[in-house]
Chain A
Amino acid sequence: MTPPVKTLLGYADSLSVAPGETIAFKVSCETTSLYDAQIVRLINGDTNPASPGYNEIEIPGAAWRLPGRRQYVRAGSCAIIEGVGAHLGSAGFGIEMLIWPTTPEKPLQTLCSLFEGPAGFSLTIGGAAGLALLISDGGGGEATLALGAPLRARQWYRVTARFDPRAGEMFCRQKACHGRATDAETVAATRSTTIALPHIPGANLLLAAAPQPGGTGLYRFYNGKMEAPNLTSADGAPVAAWDFSIGIGSDTIHDTSAKSLHGRTRQRPARAMTGHCWAGEGFVWRHTPAHYAAIHFHDDDIDDAAWETDFSFTVPDTLPSGLYAARLRTAQDEDYIPFVIRAARRREGGLLFIVPTASYQAYANEHLALDAALAELVHDHVPVFGPNGIYLAAHRELGGSLYGRHSDGSGIFTSSRRRPILNMRPKYQSRLGGTGSGLWQLNADTHLIAWLAREGIEADFITDEDFDSNGADALLPYRCVMLATHAEYFSTRMRDALDDYVAAAGRIMSMGANGLYWRIAYHMDGSGTIEVRRCEVGNGWITAPGEAYHEFTGEYGGLWRRIGRPPQQTIGVGFVGQGFDRSSYYRRLPASHDPRVAFIFAGVSDEIIGDLGLIGGGAAGVELDRTDPLLGTPANAVILARSEGHTGNYLPTVEELLINYVNQAERNGFF
């Protein structure tokens, strides 16, 4: 017997929808000609026979049988400036830019290309050829000039290329431009050629990619930073000069020439990145934008899979707010595309459940077990791959999580929901969820939903993205707000709104640890893409010096604790440590016998609480919080119980450490 093979997957154009609105689903079906789609309400996503039982409710009248077709994810970022060919004529060109290649050993990475059909030129780096200029006349004639000189990774170079058909000459030069560069680090070459480049007025200029011959796709993506590309005629007359320090946070690249040949980036390369002249004088890109004139392109950037829509669902007024999914099925496979239905009319004085979709996106398609050799030491068990994990291992084009690294080793700063997210699924098991059901993120949160359903507690549901968009207004009518099992990633608007809500005597139930931990930024373009700049403290990666401020908002990134707003200020507790093997239990503290809190313990006589369960066999585990008055735990907080007896896999978090020593957590009384 072999494991099931994933052949059916999809995503929706939104993570939430209100009654009367329509949500569109995009599906790739790799095997059969027909698949079944059914909207279901998700109650409990845990398939463990020891759990209360998997539970989904099919929504009548929301089922389809549809023809399957395969759709592909095309990863790789670049910039496109349309119609540049019209400004070049056939009298040649010159191009110059600064580059900081990250994988110079990888062959055929395009710095820029300009083609109409087979006619055009490209400037590439990589492999033994190094910097290379190719001219193609469109009729089968080609001329190439390659420097054949190695480029060092993560080193700035000024590269120049020129084609002068009147002189019959091609020219290339690479010049190292760090402060101690020697003449030996400048390499140049000239060759004569009889090739001609025809006038190709419809040709677009691509930066960091080339058009695939005979197709509509792009290929030969570049890994690394690029700064200040400019285009001239062969005799040096300016045509266009792009300044990437203008428009940081947007997908626009700005031509400072009179021709205004502005362009757009694709698949969201990283901006607000230090350029060749950054030397540590300023750390804020908004203060010294000229030092942040670089874009970092990656051959695996993915922000929008841009799949075609397969079916849509208009939400009837009769459906209650909750967590739903489009269930897709063939005989061989199934997939679920989760989404939230918001309330048609908000439940005045009721409960609001915030589905932590920012945290789901942060962990989207994580590859820790594949990429982090020591992840097994963190988890203390051998990584387990299900069908979705195996599919993700084979299809890196689906993009990684905010814990992952790009193919060039640089950190992944942004995470999109416009792609299949195969670990944001009911029935999904994650090794991060300890032993037992493997509950983590969305599938863990379904247990809260199942509990609310069992207790007959009705709630309105919104996503983090809704919360970020609407701020304090999103919480206003509710008597209580429930944060789910792992509300780790918070934007400033979300945090401000939650703080305002608490200040106005609102009630929060925070149902898991490690909440309100990392600051993120949602992009203002409505794409739902989030950004994190892990600085000071890292996880999976840490920002390079000078790159700690978010591109999307200009805000300083990292831990809320390091920004001066520890989670303890809002929810009383904050992150202290983690382990991923066995969970432990809580022991009641004397304060729990205070008559003030008697209502909490009505009917509970146990001193030990939560010494069982589906996540590591205990209620206290995976991630742990602590109170601390110095970090903001309110003076009138009542600490009812604390956990004890954690395994040796539990270690304090890095920001708790000033210096390492043995048994630090125990000696500090953390756990």
Chain B
Amino acid sequence: MQFADAEWIQLAREFRAQPIGYHSAGLTRLLSHLRAGGMEGKYCIICIEPHRNWAIGRLSAQRGVPPALQDNRGTLDEAEWAIFKLRCRDAGLPAIDEALL
């Protein structure tokens, strides 16, 4: 997927403001692309402490092998945002300059 810089920043800004919920057509299209990957190494969220603390994990795609914990932690929205950035990076999209958001 390719975006004009302005559009790209706008989508990132929109996602960070509300990771889950009402999204523009452009963000919906981007999220559908980012979320549709296969299971091996797919990002997930691991709850460290209910309602308080979450971390990023990776799925194994193998029966009986549980998600592996990685170490970014924070709120659920922060975990969603961190995974969004990782997936954008993995998809070859430009790095997000958070100073512009």
Binding site for B on A (CB under 8 A): 1-3, 47-49, 369-371, 373-374, 376-377, 380-387, 390-391, 393-396, 407, 427, 429, 435, 581-582, 647-648
25 residue pairs A–B, Cβ–Cβ below 8 Å: A2-B48, A2-B69, A3-B46, A3-B47, A3-B48, A47-B50, A373-B36, A373-B37, A373-B38, A373-B39, A376-B35, A376-B42, A381-B20, A382-B79, A384-B45, A385-B44, A386-B47, A386-B50, A390-B67, A391-B66, A393-B67, A396-B63, A427-B50, A435-B20, A582-B21
- Whether the pair A429, B19 counts as a contact (CB closer than 8 A) is no
Q: Which residue on A lies nearest to B77, using beta carbons?
A: A435
A371–B43 Cα distance when bound, in Å, is 14
B53 at the interface (CB under 8 A from A): yes
A393-B65, A394-B65 given as contacts; is B79 within 8 A of A647 (CB)? no
Instruction: Please report which residues of chain B, range 56-94, place their CB below 8 angstroms from some CB of chain A when the two chains form the complex.
Output: 57, 59, 63-67, 69, 73, 76, 79-80, 83
Instruction: Please report which residues of chain B, range 7-45, place their CB below 8 angstroms from some CB of chain A when the two chains form the complex.
Output: 19-23, 25, 28, 31-32, 35-39, 42-45
Give every chain B residue within 8 A of A395 (Cβ-Cβ). Answer: 64
Q: Which of B23, B45, B51 contacts A647 (CB under 8 A)?
A: B23
Give every chain B residue within 8 A of A383 (Cβ-Cβ). Answer: 44-45
Q: Given contact pairs A386-B47, A393-B64, A647-B23, enumerate 18 new A-B contacts (beta carbons under 8 Å).
A: A3-B55, A370-B59, A373-B39, A373-B42, A374-B36, A376-B36, A381-B19, A381-B80, A382-B44, A382-B45, A384-B45, A384-B46, A384-B47, A385-B44, A393-B65, A581-B21, A582-B22, A647-B21
Interface size on B, residues (CB 8 A): 40
A394-B66, A647-B21, A647-B23 given as contacts; is B51 within 8 A of A385 (CB)? no
A582–B18 Cα distance when bound, in Å, is 11
- Whether the pair B80, A382 counts as a contact (CB closer than 8 A) is yes
Binding site for A on B (CB under 8 A): 19-23, 25, 28, 31-32, 35-39, 42-51, 53-55, 57, 59, 63-67, 69, 73, 76, 79-80, 83
Q: Which residue on A lies nearest to B44, using beta carbons?
A: A383
- Whether the pair A581, B20 counts as a contact (CB closer than 8 A) is yes
A1-B53, A373-B38, A394-B66 given as contacts; is B47 within 8 A of A385 (CB)? yes
A382–B67 Cα distance when bound, in Å, is 13
Q: Which residue on A lies nearest to B67, using beta carbons?
A: A385
Chain B interface secondary structure, helix, strand, loop or mixed? Answer: mixed
Q: Which residue on B lies nearest to A646, using beta carbons?
A: B22
- Whether the pair A47, B23 counts as a contact (CB closer than 8 A) is no
B36 to chain A, nearest CB (A): 6
- Whether the pair B50, A390 counts as a contact (CB closer than 8 A) is no
Give 5 nearest A-B pairs by CB, closest first: A393-B66, A582-B21, A394-B66, A376-B35, A386-B47
Give every chain A residue within 8 A of B54 (Cβ-Cβ). Answer: 384
Q: Which residue on A lies nearest to B40, using beta carbons?
A: A373
